[in-house]
Chains A and B, each alone.
Chain A
Amino acid sequence: MDIEWALVFFTLLTCLSVGVFAGVAASEWKDGAEAVRKSGAFLALAALVAGGLASVLHLGHPERIFGAFGHPTSGIFLEALLMGLFGLGVVLYILALRRKAAAGVRKAIATVGMLPAVCLAFAVGYTYVMPSRPAWDTPMLPFLYLASAFVTGYFAYAVLSAGREGAEGAFIRKVTLNSLILQAVFIAAFVAHLATVAHPDASRSAGRVLAGGLAPLFWLGVVIVGTLIPGWLALRAHRDGRPIPLAGARLGLLCVLAGGVAFRALMFAVGSAVREFF
């Protein structure tokens, strides 16, 4: 099917927002630098709003969106609800920071805010899981989006904290590396799913991804740019026990964002229907 770019950026920005706020929450628990937490919370809010706007661009008639409130079982309703709850959590956290709330209060808000955040990152992937699109009909997809959230978010957090990293640094470097490894495992599992998909078709075959028309996007975009380069940066930082320098963090963030776009574009490219008649 055609690549729905608005949805590509909606999910990417939403995942970025979730990941950055996870960095904020980790910093609260590890007594990290407050200035970084403040920047992180504002970045999480900005990415969430930008993601929401991207999703609106996808709609033919956004002015009718309120009709969705009458049908709480749809994926769009669930996403909107989770975005609202997560956004509320981020705003409350920013207010708590500005009012210099006690550490316990901030910690509680950040932790509770992470619940809808994690669900949101999972839900934006789960919305695509449907039997009509055999390539998408796998639980790997929501887990991949969840891993993508932590990978993009933590590299963004590394950019914010470069040069002023606090006690949370070691923990964040460890989580970043583990998230990248998990993301690579989920990507491999997704490709394996394509090789064994129900209703096989050339449009969604593993061969098309690994050695066909989508191979440059997969090997260059998803594997080299999206996984190996940031993986090398994260591994080196973790091994040396030192923060990623600002230039490296910026490079890593650009790579994981580009890799995120590449994977999402690939997902749409292999997302053909059981029978694609029109």
Chain B
Amino acid sequence: MATTKKRYALIIDLDRCIGCCGCEVSCKQENGVAVDVVWNKVREEGPHVNADAGRGVEHYFLPTVCQQCDEPQCVKVCPTGASYVREDGTVLVDREICIGCKYCMMACPYGVRSFNREMKVVEKCTLCVQLQAVGEPPACVKNCVAKARFFGDLGDKASEAAKALAAAGEENAHSLPDVGNRPRTRYILHAKTATWRS
């Protein structure tokens, strides 16, 4: 799969995240996500005992969401092309042609796709493309009370996302396990806060 020029992504600062779940709520409100479905979920990592770090116990919140992979396996297995990569690199689902076979859900290494039982199609985070169209960031970024989320084109050094990543330094920027899908979403976590375990 050819890498697109633009690489829109979320950068999530775990040093700042307070686990309020405001991102989950704003996502549901903005996108009309069904009651039993989530596109965005905050999980707790820990508490873990880490005597080596001199803290005793470590703990952080991990907001999980579609990782907008550079090599999305969900797109590869989709039989109808309903899962596709937009020009700006955003991985989306066309609900009009999705047959609801759930193979994309199986192919996702993070289980961050959901099946809408009412519409009988698979859904996921869209990075709020409808808000992007009017020049606004995704709802989770806009409504994060801790200012822990950044959105933008990672290829554009002037974007908020690229600037946040550069400021954190590569040693403090983490990714979820890569099984060939190359997740684009990055998590900022400094060692002084906790040891990355995700």
Name A's interface SS: loop
| Interface bits B71-84 vs A (CB < 8 Å: 1, else 0) | 00100111111100
In angstroms, Cα B180 to Cα A264, docked, is 26
| Interface bits A60-86 vs B (CB < 8 Å: 1, else 0) | 111011011011011111000000000
In angstroms, Cα B99 to Cα A277, docked, is 23
Q: Are B99 and A60 in contact (CB under 8 A)?
A: yes
A199 proximity list for chain B (CB < 8 A):
177, 179
A130 proximity list for chain B (CB < 8 A):
73, 77, 106-107
Q: Are B121 and A61 in contact (CB under 8 A)?
A: yes
A127 proximity list for chain B (CB < 8 A):
103
Q: Does A242 contact B (CB under 8 A)?
A: no
| Interface bits A104-137 vs B (CB < 8 Å: 1, else 0) | 0000000000000000000000011011110000
Which residues of A230-278 are within 8 A (CB) of B? Answer: 271-278
Q: Does B147 contact A (CB under 8 A)?
A: no
B198 proximity list for chain A (CB < 8 A):
275
A64 proximity list for chain B (CB < 8 A):
80, 97-99
Which residues of B103-127 are within 8 A (CB) of A? Answer: 103, 106-115, 119-121
Q: Are A132 and B64 in contact (CB under 8 A)?
A: no
Question: What band does the interface of chain B fall in when counting residues whose beta carbon is under 8 Å from A?
Answer: 35 or more
Q: Does A3 contact B (CB under 8 A)?
A: no
A61-B120, A68-B80 known; A277 vs B103 contact (CB < 8 Å): no
For A277, give its contact among B64, B73, B97, B107 (CB under 8 Å).
Answer: B64
Q: Does A4 contact B (CB under 8 A)?
A: yes
Q: Are A68 and B79 in contact (CB under 8 A)?
A: yes
B115 proximity list for chain A (CB < 8 A):
60
Q: Are A67 and B180 in contact (CB under 8 A)?
A: no
Q: Does A1 contact B (CB under 8 A)?
A: yes
Q: Are A76 and B100 in contact (CB under 8 A)?
A: no
A152 to chain B, nearest CB (A): 24
A199 to chain B, nearest CB (A): 6
Q: Are B100 and A61 in contact (CB under 8 A)?
A: yes
Q: Are B177 and A65 in contact (CB under 8 A)?
A: no
B88 to chain A, nearest CB (A): 22
| Interface bits B121-150 vs A (CB < 8 Å: 1, else 0) | 100000000000000000000000000000
Q: Are A132 and B103 in contact (CB under 8 A)?
A: no
For B81, give its contact among A1, A70, A133, A272 (CB under 8 Å).
Answer: A70
Q: Does A59 contact B (CB under 8 A)?
A: yes
Interface positions of B (Cβ within 8 A of A)? 38, 41, 43, 64, 73, 76-82, 97-103, 106-115, 119-121, 176-177, 179-181, 198
Interface positions of A (Cβ within 8 A of B)? 1, 4, 58-62, 64-65, 67-68, 70-71, 73-77, 127-128, 130-133, 199, 271-278
Not counting A70-B80, A274-B179, a sample of 16 additional A-B residue pairs whose C-beta atoms are within 8 angstroms of each other reads: A61-B100, A61-B121, A62-B99, A64-B99, A67-B79, A67-B80, A67-B81, A68-B99, A74-B77, A76-B103, A127-B103, A132-B109, A273-B109, A277-B64, A278-B112, A278-B113
